[in-house]
């Protein structure tokens, strides 16, 4: 399968699933734009992808996805350099068990896992539509099933901490707006699907203790295995017309009951629009 002539952007591509996804699409001869937080991590990943795939059409753009201004700068830089965008993979994510605030004052899980892909996708929609047929893939998590949307405490300032609470909340918000995106994009030639990559050995959960991470990660998937469904959704002709679905291991699956609540989706959409200043 060839991705020649296709321009793909992947966030969080300096390691883990993101880098494995970038590697896979570069091997298919796609033009791959990797988005990383800084040069120190991004440049070695860029060099490795080019050397291992032999594909010189790999580019690096820098962005701090916890900053709304940095996301806006990323979209501007991309548009100044590229006329088209055929695949956008919102892969970057964090998993913090304690509440940390972003530079904009948002809870960090919510800022990176939900607001960042929401803003970036909206900023690149005109380019995606112009490039249609095009695809958006949002890397979600089965942890969305543990999430709740509490409009009285959306930033998790007051509620008791549940297992995976802040992370699950952010991934449920991502799922809700992903489905809302797919409804709003009907008829444009732009599809949007979500993926749970499985439990993968990545840098997520970096605030957990080393012994716990070491014990658990023996049972994790490799990054390459975790990237397979994202690559499939980005490249396979089988899913070209499919949109608004949730995939695990290249198969459509049901997400949580709450994630299909259209009233909830519209409300979180409107609040997110206000939060990111669109």
Task: Just list the catalytic residues.
Answer: 167
Q: What interhelical angle do 262-276 and 116-130 show, nearest 10?
A: 90
Measure Cα distances from 141 to 40, 66, 80, 92, 226 in Å: 28, 19, 32, 12, 12
Q: How far apart are CA 199 and CA 243, in angstroms?
A: 24
Q: What share of the chain is helix, strand, coil (3-state, %, to 5)?
A: 45, 15, 35
Tokens read off for 190: 């732009």
**Cα dihedral 74, 79, 83, 86 in deg (nearest 10):** 30
- How big is the chain, counted in residues? 278
DSSP state of 42: H
Q: How far apart are CA 110 and CA 276, in angstroms?
A: 12
């Amino acid at each position: 399968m060839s991705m020649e002539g296709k321009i793909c952007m992947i966030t969080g591509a300096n390691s883990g699933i993101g880098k494995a996804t970038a590697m896979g699409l570069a091997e298919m001869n796609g033009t791959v734009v990797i988005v990383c937080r800084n040069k120190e991590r991004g440049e070695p990943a860029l060099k490795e992808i080019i050397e291992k795939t032999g594909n010189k059409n790999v580019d690096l753009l820098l962005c701090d996805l916890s900053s709304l201004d940095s996301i806006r700068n990323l979209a501007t830089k991309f548009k100044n350099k590229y006329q088209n965008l055929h695949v956008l993979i919102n892969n970057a994510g964090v998993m913090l068990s304690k509440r940390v605030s972003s530079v904009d004052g948002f809870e960090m899980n919510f800022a990176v896992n939900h607001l960042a892909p929401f803003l970036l996708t909206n900023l690149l929609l005109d380019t995606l539509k112009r490039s249609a047929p095009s695809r958006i893939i949002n890397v979600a998590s089965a942890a969305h099933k543990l999430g709740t949307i509490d409009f009285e405490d959306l930033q998790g300032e007051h509620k008791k901490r549940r297992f995976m609470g802040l992370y699950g909340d952010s991934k449920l918000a991502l799922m809700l707006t992903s489905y809302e995106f797919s409804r709003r994009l009907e008829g444009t030639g732009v599809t949007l699907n979500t993926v749970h990559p499985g439990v993968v050995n990545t840098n997520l959960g970096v605030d957990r203790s080393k012994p716990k991470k070491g014990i658990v990660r023996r049972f994790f998937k490799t990054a390459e295995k975790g990237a397979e469904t994202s690559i499939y959704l980005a490249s396979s002709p089988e899913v070209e017309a499919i949109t608004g679905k949730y995939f695990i291991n290249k198969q459509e699956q049901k997400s949580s009951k709450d994630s299909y609540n259209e009233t909830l989706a519209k409300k979180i959409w409107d609040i997110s629009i206000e939060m990111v200043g669109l």
